[in-house]
Amino acid sequence: MTVHKIATLEAFLVPPRWLFVRIETDQGAIGWGEASLEGHGEAVLGAMEAVRDRIVGMDASRIEDIWQLLYRLGFYRGGPVLMSAISGVDQALWDIKGRMLGVPVSDLLGGRVRDRMRVYAWVGGDRPHDVAAAALERRQQGFDAVKMNGTEDMAWLDSPASVDAAAERLALVRETGVDVGVDFHGRVHKPMARQLVRALEPLRPLFVEEVLANEQLEAIAQIAGQTSVPLALGERLYSRWQFKPFFEAAAIDIAQPDLSHAGGISECRRIAAMAETYDVAFAPHCPLGPLALASCFQVAAVTLNFVIQEMSIGIHYNRPDADLLTFVRNPEALRVTDGMVAVLEGPGLGVDIDEDAVRSAAIQPHRWRNPVWRGRDGSLREW
């Protein structure tokens, strides 16, 4: 078989907040990946300079060797910026190999264990009835599960009325007939988190995500021992080593690594297998673009403990000119039917990117930043 050496690596900041990676070999094989890191795209773009110096000229088929080289030989390991850069490269290399062989990446990972994958979408709104209306709209789009904020604003010690309001909002959304994941987004603190989980528990949320910031391992484990609600976490963990203490402490029920932050397909496949040994479910985090989502679906197809996939269809992040499907030539591959998306059958990642549209959009790179939230006393709130 002809050796394909990496000839070029390009990265594109495109709206609404994505960072796409394109790798081409000296034989003309092309693969795409996604290294999106919300609010820090420029930092990842800078990290790509060192990545390019390392991998140009290497055999593109040696995916694991390239992953280990980028992870270990930079001396400073891990973190969101470096791991996002590795993630984009890793996805693109798997895409190249799959396209060269004419098979989906899932075939290269051992073959699928399912034919369809359950999905959920985000819902939000300023008032409880707005959130419920958004959930009904998602049902019309084919979803049978959604995710919503547990609370928009909660102080370290807050009024019981704020807990009541969160329960009321969840109750209204549950009345629409969809299953509901509730995201605390790490913005709730221990004095209120236990109260909030207890108040939501009778409403039977599908899961509670980031009940506390992931720095609070011991407190998360305490809450896990006090509730029957499944606890999910992992979007801000970047390797199997960072997941390890959460598994050992029995602190979480659902692992949520992000395939554009946590080392790509290669590392998240390992995290999923590691989770299975602790009887922990796998539900990748992905409020990102089509390449990240397609990568998630490739891993989900071959992962026994996969349970549900996040997807950001119809969300523009304040950029009406772009969303999940903007740069995809085959959007039908991501169609939601009866709450599920069929396994992607196309070669590589299974989505075809409109390269001309990407290059045109990248002429004016996005500068997306997360909003700043403050409480009524003026103090900072977590995003």
Catalytic residue among 189, 261, 285, 366: 285
- Where does the chain have alpha helices with state H? 41-55, 63-72, 80-101, 105-108, 128-140, 160-174, 190-200, 217-224, 240-248, 264-277, 290-301, 355-361
285 has catalytic annotation: yes
> d(Cα 69, Cα 67) in Å, to the nearest integer?
5
Cβ atoms 149, 166 nearer than 8 A:
no
Catalytic residue among 40, 185, 261, 366: 185
The helix/strand/coil state of 42 is: helix
In sequence order, what are the beta bridge partners of 121? Answer: 146
> d(Cα 318, Cα 37) in Å, to the nearest integer?
17
Read off the DSSP letter of residue 181. E
The helix/strand/coil state of 122 is: strand
Residues contacting residue 271 through CB under 8 Å, at least 6 positions apart: 234, 239, 240, 243, 255, 257, 262, 282
Strand pairing report for 281-282 and 373-374: unpaired
The catalytic residues are: 185, 285
